[in-house]
Amino acid sequence: KQEVTQIPAALSVPEGENLVLNCSFTDSAIYNLQWFRQDPGKGLTSLLLIQSSQREQTSGRLNASLDKSSGRSTLYIAASQPGDSATYLCAVPSNSGGSNYKLTFGKGTLLTVNP
């Protein structure tokens, strides 16, 4: 059974700092890995999707890397801003024999960027 772990559970940084969020997964036979952002009580916003054949993916100040063999991914946020404050979740698809791939989520990292 796939398990996803995110470290740290919470992170507080001053504005402008670069930071790294970590995600690890137990079953390395994944097709891709997805990072989401969730504001309190709100929906999930997809940030980046890395296919298993890719090493990293970039979008603006965000850079996600994937090391499938070691079961790890990192989300790098450059020059953090107070608006980046949110919970960041990583998720990997897993298949239990059907034709679809349910997502297994980590418990998330609660990021607070202080002005």
Partner 1 sequence: AAGVIQSPRHLIKEKRETATLKCYPIPRHDTVYWYQQGPGQDPQFLISFYEKMQSDKGSIPDRFSAQQFSDYHSELNMSSLELGDSALYFCASSPLREDSTDTQYFGPGTRLTVL
Report the interface residues with partner 1, using CB under 8 A.
31-32, 34, 36, 41-46, 49, 51, 89, 93, 95-96, 98-108
Minimum CB separation from partner 1 for residue 37, in Å?
A: 11
Which of 7, 78 has the CB closer to partner 1?
A: 7
Looking only at the bridges linking them, the beta strands covering 56-59 and 32-38 are: unpaired
Minimum CB separation from partner 1 for residue 2, in Å?
A: 11
Residue 52, C-beta contacts closer than 8 angstroms, at least 6 positions apart: 30, 31, 32, 66, 68
Q: Which of 63, 90, 64, 109 is nearest to 2 (CA)?
A: 90
Minimum CB separation from partner 1 for residue 20, in Å?
A: 20
Distance of CA 69 to the CA centre of its chain: 17
